[in-house]
Amino acid sequence: MPDVEALDWVVNTELAPLVEGSPIVRRVLKFPRKHLRALPEFLRDLRSERYNVVIDLQGLLRSALIARFARLVSDGYVLGMSDAREGALWFYQKIAKVPAAHAILRYLAAAHLAGANLDLQLHFPLPAGEVPEGFSLSPEYILIHPFSRWLGKSLSADLVSELVKLSAPRRVVVVGQGSINLPDIAEDWTGRTSLKQLLGIIQGATGVISSDSGPLHLAVALGRPTVGVFGPSHPELTGPWASNSCAIRVKYDSVCRVGKQRAWKTADSGLDAIPAERIIHELHRMIGRGRLRPSVKLLLE
C-alpha cells in the first residue's frame, strides 16, 4: 500500500506468535478473548494511536466494534467487506464489494479499496519456528494434522491410521491440540507443542496432510507440499493456495445428509469416505512439485 508508515495488527492473544517479529508489523495488539478482565488495557492500547485506515477482514460484529473503537485521524475511515455478517456493515465508512471467491481474493479486494497495488507477488512472512526438545528433523518425515475446532472437519483415528500405514516405511509425525489413537509406528506429538514449535515441525516436513484448519494454511504459507482434507466446508473458498498444494473434499451432498451445522459439530461429515490411498497419491504428487515460497501474481480489475 502506498505511503504506509506503520502497520498495527489486532490478533487473539493465543495467535500472537504468528505476527510478532514480522518485518511488516509495528505493533501487535493482543485481544484478550479468553481473559476479558484485560479488555480495558487492550482498549487503551488500541486508542493510544490515531489511524488513517482501519481494515476489518474478519467481518463479524466483534471485529467491527474493535475497528470502530480505534481512533482515526480527521480524514480516516473504517473499511470492511460487503459480505460481513452480524450487522458489522453498520460500523464501516467504506465497504469493499468482494467477490464470492477465495478468501485471499476477498481480502485483496479490501486492500485494493484502501489503495494497495495488486499487481504483485503475495508472500507470507511468518516467524522462524522452534524445534521442540526431543524432536529430530531427520530422517525426513510426513506430517499429519488431523484436528479441527469442529468434529466434522477432523480426520478420524481410522483414517489417520490408514494414512500412517500407507506411508510406511517413511517416518510419520502426528501433531495438533487433541488426542487420537495411533499405530505404534507413528510419532505422537499431539498436545505437546507450542504454536512456534508447531511452526518448527511444519517447516521441517517433507509433506503435510491436514484437516481444514489453521495448520493447513501455515503449511501452505511455509511452502510445504500439502494436501487439505475437506468435509462440510468449501476448499474453493478457503482451501490451500499454492501450486504445490491441493484439497480433497468428500462428496458432501451424497455422503452427509445431516445438515451443515450438525456436520460441523459431529463426526457425521463422511470424511472416512475419502480413500486414504487417494490422499497419499495426491501428497506424493505435491511432493513431486517440490518446496516453494508461496507466491501468486494477481491483478484485480
Reported pTM: 0.85
The string of pLDDT tens digits covering residues 2-57 is 566 788 999 999 999 988 878 888 899 999 988 889 999 999 999 999 999 999 99
CB atoms within 10 A of CB 266: 14
Q: How far apart are CA 242 and CA 256, in angstroms?
A: 28
Give residue 112's pLDDT band: very low, low, confident or very high (50, 70, 90). confident
User: Per-residue pLDDT for 300 more than 50?
Assistant: no
Distance CA 145, CA 178 (A): 10
Domain 141-287, CATH class in plain words: alpha beta
Q: What share of the chain is helix, strand, coil (3-state, %, to 5)?
A: 35, 20, 45
Residue range(s) occupied by CATH 3.40.50.2000 in the chain: 8-118, 141-287
> What is the third-level CATH fold of 8-118?
Rossmann fold (3.40.50)
Confidence band for 243, pLDDT divided at 50, 70 and 90: confident
Q: Band of the pLDDT at 292, cuts 50, 70, 90? A: low
pLDDT digits (tens, 9 = 90+) for 116-161: 777 666 676 788 889 999 999 999 999 999 998 877 788 989 999 9
For 44, residues 6+ apart whose C-beta sits below 8 A from its C-beta are none
Contact 173, 143 (CB under 8 A): yes
Contacts for 250-255: CB closer than 8 Å, 24+ residues apart: 250/274
Residue 83 CB-half CA count within 13 A? 13
Share of the chain above pLDDT 90, in %: 55
Average pLDDT, the chain: 85
